[in-house]
Chain A
Amino acid sequence: MAKLNPFKNKDVILIKDFTRDDLFYLFQKADKIERMPERDRICLLNGKILGYLFFEPSTRTRLSFEAAMLWLGGRTLGFAEPKVSSVEKGESLADTIRTVENYVDVIVMRHSKDGAASFAAEIASKPLINGGSGTEEHPTQAMLDLYTIIKEKGSIDNLKIGLLGDLKYGRTVYSLLYGLSKFNVEVKLISHPILRVRREIFFDLEKKVKISEHDNLEEILPDLDVLYVTRIQKERFPDLSEYERVKSSYNVNLKILQKAKDDLIILHPFPRIDEISPEVDSSPHAKYFKQMLNGRILRSALLASILDVPF
């Protein structure tokens, strides 16, 4: 008997709301959708509309959601910045959601406030996908990160995974850590001391996954199977002088990578500033551009699953 669709009409707010089985269901659907003949794929979401509400800038998340919808024959409407909506006139988030849900079948929202997606999902009667909420979570990024690791390494279990950079404010870090906690992995957190993960991670995950904290990338690198690099998020620092102290703390370059395993893969949710040198892009370690492609595929599978079209 086919597994019931765990994403049917469901909000996607936090990755911890989904089980390991749910994630595998999605990954299998992503594989299936990627292999699907174009004539079948292009009909999947015919007549369906995705509403995108981006209160914060985005390149990949918004465009890959739009691309995913168009790839399956659906349509999109929304705004890429709040200045072109009534939010600029002072409209509340609640009223914006109540408005948009009348016009669309599913909503993806990005917002600078922590918890904004949970709040919006309480209001919306249509399924709502968190496209990034403040420093809190970015669950579909973690889903595509995990999907990329499986595609590149064959499995997630038994890997040593390093997370590098802005672990305090980087929402992708939190989603990925909660996602990784569903697997048997060893996680090494590498950051400047003032950019360590928030205490919630240890409260929630200490007993579920082996986690250690480090300062020195070069010491840890030879051990790693996956290195997940994140940008120091200038826009999240309450105190810019603190940002100045820690920016450019790390740089992944070909010299450092001489110490890495041959089959180390490097992922990055992007955008990047200077944490990965462009010279790394053409090395076999660099998988971040494939990660972007996987974003469209994974998000296609997610949209089709939420809207529960048979495929």
Chain B
Amino acid sequence: MSEKELIVQKIVEGTVIDHIEAGKALHVLSVLGISGEEGKVITIAMNVPSKKYGKKDIIKIENAYLSPEITNKISLISPHTTVNIIKNYKVVEKRAIEIPDEFVGIFKCPNPNCITNSEETMATKFYVPSKNPPLLRCKYCGRIYSPNEVM
């Protein structure tokens, strides 16, 4: 079964999030804040064969153009993801995702004594003091973590 056959039909307009780490598509949607209740047509393919990575997930969202600010949120969850913006069946923009300078409301602070774990209304905020290797620093308790520790 070729990769081409597996990938669900092309979309006319929208965003294709490709090369998502296998099995992470639902996590990616959650981080992007997409629940499905928005009413957009969304196609999710999980664990499809990939020449480059063996297996991968793909998400296609019709009639929505996700900005780099939005898609960069998944940079630590699935760093090799690519984003294609489709207009009239054609890829008009293809971009790699980049690690942003901060992550707001995405990760939980692993420090059980951090205030973000006890004030219900608080959004967590992590700065990125180093992108290579990536490190996260809680804006509130100041602790530094590797991506594995916050996910």
Residues on A lying within 8 angstroms of B by beta carbon are 14, 92-94, 111-116, 118-119, 133-137, 198-200, 203, 238
Taking beta carbons and an 8 Å cutoff, which residues of B are in contact with A?
111-116, 118-122, 129, 137-144
Query: Given A134-B141, A200-B144, do A114 and B114 touch, yes or no (CB 8 Å)?
Result: yes
Question: Which one of A94, A111, A113 has the highest number of Cβ atoms from chain B below 10 Å of its Cβ?
Answer: A113
B114 → A minimal CB distance (Å)? 5
Complex formed: what's the CA distance from A15 to B129 in Å? 19
Find chain A residues with CB under 8 A from B115 CB: 93, 111, 113-116, 118-119, 133-134
28 residue pairs from A and B, CB less than 8 Å apart: A92-B120, A92-B121, A93-B115, A94-B121, A113-B113, A113-B114, A113-B115, A114-B113, A114-B115, A114-B142, A115-B116, A115-B139, A115-B140, A115-B142, A116-B115, A118-B140, A119-B115, A119-B116, A119-B140, A135-B113, A136-B141, A136-B142, A137-B142, A200-B137, A200-B143, A203-B129, A203-B144, A238-B112
Contact residue among B113, B119, B138, B143 (Cβ-Cβ distance under 8 Å from A94): B119
CB distance from A197 to the nearest CB of B (A): 13
Bound CA–CA A238/B110 (angstroms): 14
Give A11 Cβ to nearest chain B Cβ, in Å.
14
Instruction: State in angstroms the CA–CA spacing of A136 and B112 once bound together.
Output: 13
Give the distance to chain A from B76, nearest Cβ to Cβ, in Å: 18
8 nearest A-B residue pairs (beta carbon): A115-B140, A114-B141, A115-B141, A113-B115, A115-B115, A116-B115, A119-B115, A114-B113
Q: Which residues of A contact B121 (CB under 8 A)?
A: 92, 94
Please name 5 further chain A to chain B contacts, defined as beta carbons within 8 Å, in addition to the given A115-B115, A116-B140, A118-B115, sorted by A numbering: A14-B142, A112-B113, A119-B115, A119-B119, A119-B122
